[in-house]
Amino acid sequence: MAVYLDHSATTYLDEAVFSKMEPYFTRKFGNASTPYAYGREADRAVMEAREKTAAALCASASEIYFTSGGTESDNWAIKGAAEAAGKGHIITSSVEHHAVLDTCRYLEAKGFEVTYLPVDAKGMVSAQSVRDALRPDTILITVMFANNEVGTVMPVAEIGAIAREKGILFHTDAVQAVGHCSIDVGAMGIDMLSLSAHKFYGPKGVGALYIRNGVKIAKFMHGGAQEKDSRAGTTNTPGIVGLGAAIELAADTMDAENAHEAALAARLKEGLLKIPYTKLNGHETSRLPGNVNITFEGIEGEALMTYLDLEGIAVSTGSACTSGSIHPSHVLMAMGLSPEDARGAVRFTLGRENTEEQIDEVIQKTSDIAAKIREVSPLFAQRKGGIKRV
């Protein structure tokens, strides 16, 4: 049985969402920027999607800018704020997605100064550390809503309150949070927020940046007047329609979906932690409901992932973007794990269609495979009564 447990990497496109997108690929193909009926039809669909996206964030439609996805939204928010300020200091965290971290490093090379806040052993950034890092020349705070590897949900509202109090721009990468966390950009003091449709059963290649009315950041794409003359490029009507339909569905079903994922995650966590020499990474409570991140001591995470793949089970080691590199996850290292424990971490992220039966199968197979790999591991030896850590 094939089991997909990597919903934080991407989700499938919901059939109902796809059917809403379909006409905009074919019959309703008009360019949303053109004034005649074909264009007006596309523009109306985009406007409707903008309203749905705004509603999901408690924002106004005029504050939603469609992009090609989370990475572009992060790049635009951070580089746009930096360029508008010209120089200054940026506060971020050490556990951000690379779309934020690499952008900050790029700006450091351009002369901006960046503080990378530490996290505690659960992957949490403290609001106090944000306050302590503030400088008179701080121009931007960018801290993620929820971490992609361990699922830790950050104290976004507290950080937002500090940013508001000091009059500093606050951006949050909410790519993993949308569809799982209630978001109210006004109440949470968020000035900019990145999201990506394919993380909540929408299409790939489309996302959005929320920019609070009145916030001025530099333009990112040049070459057209789309998105209020801020983000040039022919409007991706089918993608945007898909994003709008998916975010509306995600908001409507959030409570039920979270309960479903949380119940399965509890079952999975309990089963996996019964395997000897395992531990949970991340926060016990302030956590995305469908995230289970476990270290299997003495096992290289990629080996376990490869073996599970042979059994039809899709999981991830740390983060999908890290598996091409040979360094242990920057998130787990920032949490203080030993390199060995970080390398033994495997992430299971649940979704809508997972079942109890699947979870039980995954527990059984993971348990069997972990024992097999440990037979080869120099960190373990066969002892009376089973395998023991050396």
Partner 1 sequence: MYNEKVLEHFKNPHNVGSIQDPDGYAEVGSVECGDTMQMYIKVKDDRISDIKYKTYGCCAAIASSSIASDMALGKTLEEAEAISKTDIVNELGGLPERKYHCSLMAEDALKAAIADYRSKNKTPRQ
Is 164 in contact with 306 (CB distance < 8 Å)? no
Contact residues toward partner 1 (CB under 8 A) are 298-300, 302-303, 306-307, 310, 324, 326, 328, 339-340, 343, 372-373, 375-379, 381
Q: Which residue has the tokens 């940013």?
A: 163
Closest distance between partner 1 and the C-beta of residue 338, in Å? 10
Residue placing its CB nearer to partner 1 in the complex, 227 or 297:
297
Question: In whole angstroms, how close is the CB of 357 to partner 1 at the nearest point?
Answer: 25
Within 10 angstroms of residue 114's Cβ, the number of other Cβ atoms is 19
Q: Which two tokens stand for residue 276?
A: 């000897």
Distance CA 245, CA 48 (A): 9
Q: Which of 58, 104, 181, 321 is catalytic?
A: 321
Q: Which is nearer to partner 1, 37 or 326 (CB)?
A: 326
Q: Specify the 3-state DSSP secondary structure of 185.
A: coil
Residue 219: exposure state from Cβ atoms within 10 A (0-12, 13-18, ≥19): middle
58-to-62, 182, 200, 242 alpha-carbon distances in Å: 12, 10, 18, 19
The nearest distance, CB 300 to partner 1, in angstroms, is 5
b/e 173-197 (16+ beta carbons within 10 angstroms → b):
bbbbbbbbbebebeebbbbbbbbbb
Nearest approach in angstroms of CB 385 to partner 1 is 18
Q: Are 29 and 43 within 8 A, CB to CB?
A: no
Nearer to partner 1, 178 or 303 (CB): 303
Under a CB-based contact definition with an 8 Å cutoff, are residues 123 and 152 in contact?
yes
Nearest CA to 192 among 117, 84, 330, 331? 84
Q: How far is the CB of 256 from partner 1 (least distance, A)?
A: 37
Cα distances from 52 to residues 64, 179, 287, in angstroms, run 10, 13, 26
| CB 34 to partner 1: min, Å | 45
Retrieve residue 354's tokens.
Answer: 């997972």
Residue 352 CB-density burial (10 A; 0-12 exposed, 13-18 middle, 19+ buried)? middle
Q: Tell me the backbone φ, ψ of residue 207, rounded to 5 degrees.
A: -150, -165
> Among residues 178 and 373, whose Cβ is nearest to partner 1?
373
Least distance to partner 1, CB of residue 106, Å: 24
By C-beta, is 197 or 299 nearer to partner 1? Answer: 299
Q: What does the buried/exposed string (b/e) look like for 54-77 if buried means 16 or more CB atoms within 10 Å of the residue's CB?
A: bbbbebbeebbbbbbbbbbbbbbb
For the question of residue 321 being annotated catalytic, the response is yes
Which of 121, 379 has the CB closer to partner 1? 379
Nearer to partner 1 by C-beta: 86 or 339?
339
Catalytic residues: 321
